Amino acid sequence: MRLQNKVAVVTGAGSGMGKAIALLYAKEGARVVVSDINVEAANLTVDQIKTSGGEAIAVMTNVAKEEDIQNLMDTAVTAYGTLDILVNNAGIMDNFEPAGDIQDEIWERVFAVNTTGVMRATRKALSIFLDKQSGVIINIASAGGLQGARAGATYTASKHAVVGFTKNTGFMYAPNGIRCNAIAPGGVETNIGASMTTINHFGMGRIQPGLGLNPRVGKPEDIANIALFLASNESSFVNGTVITGDAGWTAY
C-alpha cells in the first residue's frame, strides 16, 4: 500500500488517464476524490473503487470555474480531513489549428481548462500543503508541452505553460516539503478527442508525418503507473521536472 492513509484529488477522473490514476491510487490505499465535469462518469469510477474495497467520493467539477475548484478542495477536506496529493489531469484538445486560424473562443476555453484550471487547483492545494509542510502536485502535461507539433498552436501553448508552471512551483515550494512534477504523455488511448469539433486540415496535415514516428499508443494505465511513482515516497528526490511517457516518441 504505497499511498496508505493519503487523500488524493484527481481531476478528469471519470475516464481515461484520470480514471486509471484514481483506480490505482485507491488500490494503493489512498482515499480518492474523483472529480469530473461529467458527474455520472465520476460516480461510475467511485463505484468501481468501492467494489474493489477502496474509498472514494465523486465531485462534479468544471475546472474552468474558480467556484468549482474551491468546492472540490473544500469537499475533499470536509470528507477526509486533509489533502495530500493533487493530480491536475483534466484537459481538452484544440482542433489542430495553426496560429493563423486560431479563434479567440477556442484559445480561451483551452487555456481555461488546461492552464488556468491547473493554476487555480494548485493555488488552493498549496494553502493546505503549506500548513502541513507536505504535499504532492502532479500535472498532466503532454508531449505537446515539450515539442512544437503534437497538436495545434493553442493546445501546444497551453501545455508548454503547464510545464513552466510545474517547474516554477516545484522550485518555489521545495523548502516547504512540497513537490510538483508533470507527466508528458505521448499518444494514449483516451476520449480527449471528443473535445475536438472541426479538425483543421492544414494543421493536421503538417502534423501527420510525425504521427508515423510514434512507436506505439499507450494505455491509460501506463500513465497511472508513472503518477503512482510521483505520488509515492519513492520519488521523494524528484521535483520540478517532467517525466515523459511516450514509448520514445519524442526521443527522435
CATH number at residue 135: 3.40.50.720
Residue 252 lies in a domain: no
Question: CA 140 to CA 183: how far, in whole Å?
Answer: 5
| Catalytic positions | 155
State the pLDDT at residue 195. 78
Q: Closest by alpha carbon to 165, among 242, 87, 64? A: 242
| Residue 119 structural domain | 7-243
State the pLDDT at residue 46. 98
Residue 86 reports pLDDT greater than 90: yes
Residue 25 lies in a domain: yes
- Mean pLDDT within 123-150: 97
DSSP secondary structure, 134-179, as one string? -EEEEEE--GGGTSSSSS-HHHHHHHHHHHHHHHHHHHHTGGGTEE
> How many angstroms separate the Cα of 122 from the Cα of each of 67, 87, 196, 215?
14, 9, 26, 33
Residue 101 reports pLDDT greater than 90: yes
CB 8 within 8 A of CB 18: no
pLDDT tens for residues 10-45? 999 999 999 999 999 999 999 999 999 999 999 999
pLDDT tens for residues 47-85? 999 999 999 999 999 999 999 999 999 999 999 999 999
Residue 250 lies in a domain: no
Residue 165 reports pLDDT greater than 80: yes
How far is residue 195 CA from its own chain's centroid?
16
State the pLDDT at residue 44. 98
- Mean pLDDT within 204-231: 95
Least confident of 106-115, 118-127, 156-165, 196-205: 196-205
**What is the number of domains present in the chain?**
1
Percent of the chain with pLDDT strictly greater than 90: 95
Question: CA 16 to CA 187: how far, in whole Å?
Answer: 12
Residue 236 reports pLDDT greater than 80: yes
Residue 43 lies in a domain: yes
Residue 149 reports pLDDT greater than 80: yes
Residue 2 lies in a domain: no
- Mean pLDDT within 162-191: 97
pLDDT tens for residues 188-213? 998 877 778 899 999 999 999 998 89
Residue 251 lies in a domain: no
Per-chain mean pLDDT for the chain: 97
Least confident of 120-134, 196-210, 215-229: 196-210
Residue 61 lies in a domain: yes
In the chain, how many H helices and how many E strands? 8, 7
